[in-house]
Amino acid sequence: MKLIIDLYELTMANALFSEGDYNKIAYFDLYFRSIPENGGFAITAGLAQVIERLETFQFSTEDIEFLRSKEMFTDSFLAYLAEFKLECDIWAISEGTPVFPNEPLIIVRGPMIQAQILETILLLHVNHQSLIATKANKMVRAAEGRTVFEFGARRAHGESSALYGARAAFIGGCSGTSCVEAEKAFGIPSFGTMAHSWVQFFDDEYLAFSKYADKYPDSCSLLLDTYNVLESGIYNAIKIHKDILVPRGHRLKSVRIDSGDITYLSKKIRVLLDNNELNDCKIIASNALDEGIIKECVSDGAKIDIFGVGERLITAYPQPVFGCVYKLVAVENDGRIIPKMKISENIGKITTPGFKNVFRLFSNDDGMAVADIVTLHDEKIACPYKIFNPNYTWKKKIMSNFTAEQLLIKIFSKGKRVYDSPSVEEIQKSCTAQVAHLWDEIQRFNNPHEYYVDLSENLWELRRSMLRQERE
C-alpha cells in the first residue's frame, strides 16, 4: 500500500508494541470544530474512499523493508505490521448528510495500536471531500435551480484531488463534471464545450464553429468570447445553427461565455437567441465563479442557464482546509469504558469525552430538523426531551412531538465491512433531500442562524465533572 501515514502514528505504535498493552481498546472521534467560511452547515463526504482504503489496508513487503531501513522500528513491531489485520469497529454518519461542529462524523473503537494508525487515512479523505461538497452545495443553492457543473480538474491540487473533488462536488449538488475519469470511476456525467484554442486554430470564427458543428451536431456548444461576443460570436453561432444544424435536423444546444460582464452579456445573448427561434438554446457562463458571483448574477436577472465553476470550487477558495480532527475520547479497562478528555487553554480545543451517539430531532409538525443531540452511546431519546445549550445552560427547551433519527451507522464490525455504500447518485439525492429539511435561516450565506447541537444531560455532566476534577 502507499504509506500515506504520518510518521508519528508509526513511532507511537512501535512504542505501544514494546509496552505490551497495544491491544488495549481505545475510542477515537473524528469531528470538525467550525464550518468553512462561517456557513450554517457542512456536508460530510469521503466515506466510500475510507471504506475502500480500510478494506485493503495492509503493509507490503516493500513497505516493511522501507520502514526497516529507517532503523527506528523493532523487528517484532515490523513483523506485527507485516501481518496487520484490521480489527476495529467503526461507525460513521452517511455521506451527503448536513453536519455541524463538534459532533462525531466517525467513531473508531479498536486496539489502540490500530486506531492510532488510521488517523491520517480517515482525516485526509473526509477533510478533502467534505470541504468540496460543502462548497459545491453553497454554489448550487446560490444558483436557485440553475445547473452547476464542476470544471476544476486543471486547477486541482493533483490528480486525486481532481477525481475525488469531482465526486464531492457531485454529492454537494453539481450536475456533472469536466473530468472524464470521474465519469469512468463513479458514473458522474462529464460535459464540455470547446477551448479558445479551437477557435483560434482556424482562419476565422465561423469556420471553427462550422467544423465543430459538423462533428458534434447532436451536442453542439459554441464558445462566443474568443474575439467579441456581441459583434461576432453570437452572430456566427446563430448562423451555424441556420446554415449547418437545422438543415441536418439538429439544433444548437448551448453557447458559452468565459469573460466580460456575464450578466449583461447573457441578457443580450438571450434576446438574440430568442429572436432567432433559439429559445431552447442554453447559455453557459464560466470564469472564476463562486457562490457570491453566482448569487449576484441570479439577483441581477442574468439569463444564465448553466454555471461552470472551476478553481474556486475544486480548491474551496478562500478556505482550503475543512479542519477535521481525530481525538482519543475513551479507553476500555476490564470491559469498562473509561472516558478521556483533552484539556486546553484554548476552549475550542477541549474535547468531549466518552463513547457517543448522535441523534437528529425532526419536528413532526413540518418535518424540519430542530436540533442534534450528542449522547453517550447507550442513551435513548424519549419524548418529551429537554434540550439545552452546553455552553449557555440557561437556554433550555422542552421538545415534544418530534422524531429522533440516529445518524451514526455501523460500517465495520471487528474489521469486517457490514455496510453497503450507496451510489454517488443516491448520495446526491439524499443530500438534496436532507438540506431541504434545514430552515432557510440556517441555509443563508451571511450570518446564518446557529443550528442547535446539544449534549445530553448525562454527557454534559460527564464533561463538566472531568473539567472540575482537572481544576482541582
Asked whether the predicted pLDDT for residue 154 surpasses 80, the reply is yes
Residue 1 pLDDT: 63
365: its cell numbers: 409538525
Closest-CA residue to 297 (of 257, 260, 263, 256): 263
Task: Write the CA distances from 144 to 40, 137, 254, 298, integer angstroms.
Answer: 17, 11, 20, 8
For residue 226, pLDDT over 90 is answered with yes
Res. 193: pLDDT tops 70: yes
pLDDT-derived band at 49, boundaries 50, 70, 90: very high
Q: In this predicted model, what pLDDT tens digit does every residue of 204-221 receive, in sequence order?
A: 999 999 999 999 999 999
Our CA dihedral for 71, 75, 76, 82, rounded to 10 degrees, sits at 100
For residues 103-122, give the mean pLDDT: 97
Which pLDDT belongs to residue 442?
A: 97
Looking at residue 469, its pLDDT comes to 84
Mean of the per-residue pLDDT values for the chain?
Answer: 96
- Report whether 95 contacts 164 (CB < 8 A): no
Which ranges constitute the DSSP H helices of 195-261?
196-201, 205-215, 234-240
Average pLDDT, integer, range 12-41: 95
> 438: which residues sit within 8 A by CB, 6+ positions away?
40, 41, 98, 368, 369, 451
Nearest CA-CA partner of 179 in 308, 50, 52: 308
| pLDDT level of residue 345 (50, 70, 90 thresholds) | confident
pLDDT of 21 higher than 90: no
- Domains of the chain with bracketed CATH: 7-132+320-471 (3.20.140.10), 192-287 (3.20.20.70)
Q: What is the pLDDT of residues 351-393, one digit of tens each?
A: 999 999 999 999 999 999 999 999 999 999 999 999 988 888 8
